[in-house]
Chains A and B, each alone.
Chain A
Amino acid sequence: VLRLVLATAVGRLAGRLSRLLGRGGSAVPGLVAEKLDPRTIERLSAPIRRGVIVVTGTNGKTTTTKMLVGILEGEGWRVVTNPTGSNLARGIATRLLEVASWRGRVDADVAVFEADEAAVRNLARRLQPKVIVVTNLARDQLDRYGELATTAAHAAEAVRHAGVAVLNADDPLVADLASGAPAVRFFGAAEGIRRSMPHDSGLYGPGEEGAPSALDLSLERAEPEGDGQTIELVSASGERAAVPLQVPGAYNGYNAAAAVLAAVQCGVPFARAVVALEEIRPAFGRGQVVEHRGRRIKLLLVKNPAGFNQAIRLLAALPSGATVLIAINDLDADGRDVSWLWDARVEDLAGSGHCFGTAGIRALDMALRLKYAGLEAWSETDFPAALRRFVDGTPAGETGYLVPTYTAMLRFLDLLLPGTSRREAWS
C-alpha cells in the first residue's frame, strides 16, 4: 500500500508539473507511477465495485466507449473512463491516478476503458475485465500494427482474461475469438445491414463467411435521420426498441448494439440502456458537428480502408452537391504509409455530384486517388488556407463534410475550436 501511495503521489505531482510546464495533460503521471509501482493499474482498478469493461477493435472503440459510459452514468453510477486517444497502459494509469484519493483509492462503481489493439493483450491481463467488447478487426496502419493476424492473436489472448466477451458476430475474425473466451455474447445485424458492411476479408473479394452465430442483440434497422439515424435493436428475449441516435452510419448502429449488450452484462435493463443512447453526443471527430462561419462542419475521422469505406458510404448517400474536404496526414499516429487510400472504394463517389477538396501533408496523394476514380478535386496543403477554401465553397447554412486522418483532425479542430486538440491529444 505504501508503494502505491507513493506512486500515486509522485505520479500526480509529475502530472501537475508537466501541465505547469505547458506540456498539457499528457500520460506523464501514469508513466512515472508505473515506474515506481509497476502494479499501479492492477492496484488502482481492483477495488472498482462493479469491475472494469474494456473496449477494443479497429474501428468504433471511442464511440462505443462513449455510448457505454453514457448508459452506465444514466444508472447513476460513478464511471471512470479514459479520454479518447489515451488508450495505452500509461494513459489508463494516468486516468486512474487522476481520480484516485491520496491514499491510492479509486472511488468508482465501474470503469470503461478503450484499449489500443496492440496494448489490449497486456491491459486485459492486468485489468481482469468483467466484460471485454471487440467491435471489429480490419487491417490498419500496417507500418504501426503489423499484420492483421498479429492483432487478432492479441485480441484472442485478451478475451481469455475477461469474464464475458461481447463480440461482433458479423466479423469472422472477431467471432472466432469466442472459442477462447470464458463466456460470450454476440451482437450483429440483419442481413441487409450486414451486407453493406464488408469485413476485412470481404473488402477485396468474395470473403470468408463463417456459420452465423445466434445473436444476443441484433441491429434490425438503421435509417438516416437528421445528423444521425434511427436504429432498431432487438434482444434475444424479444425486447425491441427504436432509438434515435445522434451519430450517423450503420457502423455506429453496430457500436450502439455493442454498448447496449455490454451494459446489459453489467446488470442494466435493456429498456433503460436504449433510452440512455438517445442522449449520447458524437465522440470527438466521429460524426461531430462544429458550427463555423455560419456553416455546419461535420467531421468523419478515417484511419484505415474499412473506416474510409464507411465514410464513403455515408457521403455517397447524401444528396448531390455536398462539399467534401478529405485531409490526409502521414505522421506516426496516422500511419506513414498512405497506400491504404487505394484500398478504399473511392470509385463509389463517382457520380455523387459532390465538390471535393483535399488537404493535409499528403493532399496530393488523395487528389490523385480521386483523379483515378474519375473525380476532380482542388488541393491545399496549408491547413488554414484549406479550411478557408472549404468553408467558402460551402453555402451558408449548409453542412460541409470534413474527412480527416487523426493528426489532420487535430489541426482542423485547433482552427475550428481553439484549444480542443491540446486537451484531446496524447503524448
Chain B
Amino acid sequence: MTDLVIAHLYPYEMNIYGDTGNVIALRRRLEWRGLEARVDPVPAGTPYDFGGADLVFGGGGQDRSQLRVAEDLQQRAAALREAVAGGTVFLTICGTYQLFGRRFLTQEGREIPGIGVFAMETVGGRRRMIGNIIVATPWGDLVGFENHSGRTLLDPGQKSLGKVKKGYGNNETRREEGAVTDNCFGTYLHGSLLPKNPSFADELLRRALQHRHGQAVSLEPLDDRLEHLAARAAARRP
C-alpha cells in the first residue's frame, strides 16, 4: 500500500550534484518505519496531476537543461502554485529553487521567467560560490555543498530557510540561505542534502504525511548516529 506519493520533477533533466540522493533518503526513511512511498517521475512534457502528490522534489541542473525546464515549468505554474497553497510539501534545490522565484536573469542579460512561488529574483554572476556550507535553521544546522553562480535576493518579507554560518548561501552579502513559503522549501544545498540532515528529512516527511492524512503524524525515531557523524565531518571541510 502506498503511504506517501513523491513527485520527482524533471528527474532526467535536473539531476546534477547527487540530488537523486534526496529521493533515496526520503524513500528509505519511510521504509525503515514500515511505510511505503511511490515515486512518480515527472519529466518535461509529461502531464501530471500534482493534486495526487504529497511531496514534490526538484533538483539542480546544468544551464542547458534549466532553460528547457523553465519553459515546461511555465505550463505547470498555476497547478504548482495551487499545490503550494494547498499545503503540498515541496523541496526545490538550486536550479529548481531559482525557477520557483519570480525570474532568473542570466549573466548574458537574458530573462528566464520563474513561477513566483518565492518572492525573490536571481541574477547570474561570473564567480561561482563553491564549497561546504552550514546553515542554522529551526530544524537544526543543515550541512551541504553549494555550487552556483546565481545570486538570489529575497524580497523584504520573504522568509529564508536559515542563517549562513559558513559558506555563501543565497548571495555573498546577506548571510541568509534558501526560502520558505508555507510547506515549500528552496535551498542551494547539495550533498545530497537529506541523507546528512535527517531531522530536516523527517520534518518534510511529517508535513507530507500530515498533508495526506489531515492530522499530525509522529514518526518513529531512527538510529541516525552515522548521519550525524557524516554531517559533522562534512561541516569541517572547506
A binds B: yes
Chain A's nearest CB lies how many Å from the CB of B229? 5
Q: Most B CB atoms within 10 A — which of A143, A365, A372? A: A372
Inter-chain contact B233/A337, CB cutoff 8 Å:
no
The answer to whether A372 and B63 touch across the interface, beta carbons within 8 angstroms, is no
Neighbour of A362 across the interface among B16, B43, B233, CB < 8 A: B233
Specify which of A149, A205, A367 is in contact with B230 (CB 8 Å cutoff): A367
Interchain CA distance A149-B16 in the complex, whole Å: 13
Q: Is the interface of A mostly helix, strand, loop or mixed?
A: helix
Q: How far is the CA of A205 from the CA of B233 in the complex (A)?
A: 32
- Is A343 part of the binding interface, using a Cβ–Cβ cutoff of 8 Å? yes
Known: A148-B62, A365-B230. A342 touches B237 (CB 8 A): no
> DSSP majority for the B interface?
mixed
Contact B226 A364 (CB under 8 A): yes
CA distance A409 to B226 in the complex (A): 24
**Per-residue A-contact encoding for B10-25, CB less than 8 Å = 1, 0 else:** 0110011111110011
Q: Are A339 and B190 in contact (CB under 8 A)?
A: yes
Contact partner, B12, options A139, A206, A362, Cβ 8 Å: A206
Residues in B with CB closer than 8 Å to A339 are: 17-19, 21, 145, 190-192
User: Which residue of B21, B43, B147, B192 contacts A143 across the interface (Cβ within 8 Å)?
Assistant: B147
Given contacts A148-B62, A336-B145, contact A342 B21 (CB under 8 A): yes
A329 and B233 CA atoms in complex are apart in Å by: 12
Q: List 23 A-B contacts (CB under 8 A).
A: A142-B17, A147-B64, A148-B62, A201-B12, A205-B12, A336-B130, A337-B17, A337-B145, A337-B190, A339-B21, A339-B145, A339-B192, A341-B18, A342-B19, A342-B20, A342-B24, A343-B18, A364-B230, A365-B233, A368-B230, A369-B195, A371-B226, A372-B24
Contact B195 A368 (CB under 8 A): yes
In the complex where A149-B63, A342-B195 touch, is A204 in contact with B12 (Cβ < 8 A)? yes
Asked if A330 lies at the interface with its beta carbon under 8 angstroms from chain B, I say yes
Is B203 in the interface zone, CB < 8 Å from A? no
Residue interface mask B124-151, A partner, CB < 8 A = 1: 0000001110000000000001010000
B172 beta carbon closer than 8 Å to chain A: no
Q: Kindly state whether residue A5 has any CB partner on chain B within 8 Å.
A: no
Q: How far is the CA of A342 from the CA of B230 in the complex (A)?
A: 14
Report how many residues on chain B are interfacial, defined by Cβ distance under 8 Å.
35
Q: How far is the CA of A206 from the CA of B147 in the complex (A)?
A: 27
For residue A372, which residues in chain B have a CB less than 8 angstroms away from its CB? Answer: 21, 24-25, 28, 195
Interface hub of B19, B24, B64, B230 (most chain A Cβ within 10 A): B230
Additional A-B contacts beyond A336-B238, A340-B17 (8; CB < 8 A): A143-B147, A337-B145, A339-B17, A339-B19, A339-B192, A342-B19, A342-B24, A381-B233
Write the A131-154 contact mask toward B (1 if CB under 8 angstroms, else 0).
Answer: 000000001001100011100000
Which A residues, 97 to 143, have Cβ-Cβ distances below 8 Å to chain B?
139, 142-143
How many Å from the CB of B196 to the closest CB on chain A?
Answer: 7
- Interface presence of A361 (CB below 8 A): yes
Contacts of A342 in B (CB 8 A): 18-21, 24, 192, 195
Chain B residue contacts of A147, Cβ below 8 A: 62-64
**A338 located at the interface, meaning its Cβ lies under 8 Å from any Cβ of chain B in the complex:** yes
Q: Contact at A361–B18, with CB atoms within 8 Å?
A: no
CB distance from A153 to the nearest CB of B (A): 11
Verify if B227 is at the interface (C-beta below 8 Å from A): yes
Given A337-B190, A364-B230, A367-B226, is A343 in contact with B237 using a C-beta cutoff of 8 Å? no
Is residue B79 contacting chain A, with contact meaning CB distance below 8 A?
A: no
A343-B145 contact in complex given A337-B190, A365-B233, C-beta closer than 8 Å: no
B39 within 8 A of A: no
CB contacts (< 8 Å) of B21 on chain A: these are 339, 341-343, 369, 372
Q: In the complex, are the beta carbons of B229 and A364 less than 8 A apart? A: yes
- Do the beta carbons of A204 and B24 come within 8 Å of each other? no
Interface readout for A299-326 with B: 1 if CB under 8 Å, 0 if not?
0000000000000000000000000000
**Chain B residues near A369 (CB, 8 Å)?**
21, 195
B234 interfacial contact with A, CB 8 Å: yes
Chain A residue contacts of B62, Cβ below 8 A: 147-149
Nearest chain B CB to A207's CB is how many angstroms away?
8
Give the nearest-CB partner of A205 in chain B.
B12
Residues of A within 8 A of B195 (CB): 342, 368-369, 372
Closest A residue to B196 using CB positions: A368
A330 touches B237 (CB 8 A): yes
Cα A339 to Cα B193 in complex, Å, equals 9
Assess the A205–B43 pair: CB atoms within 8 A: yes
> Once bound together, how far apart are the Cα atoms of A363 and B21, in whole Å?
17
Q: Give CA–CA (A201, B16) in the complex, Å.
A: 11
CB 8 Å contact bits of B219-238 with A (1 = contact, 0 = none): 00000001101100110011
CB-nearest residue of chain B to A368: B230
Q: Known: A336-B131, A361-B237, A367-B226. Is A205-B16 also a contact (CB below 8 A)?
A: no
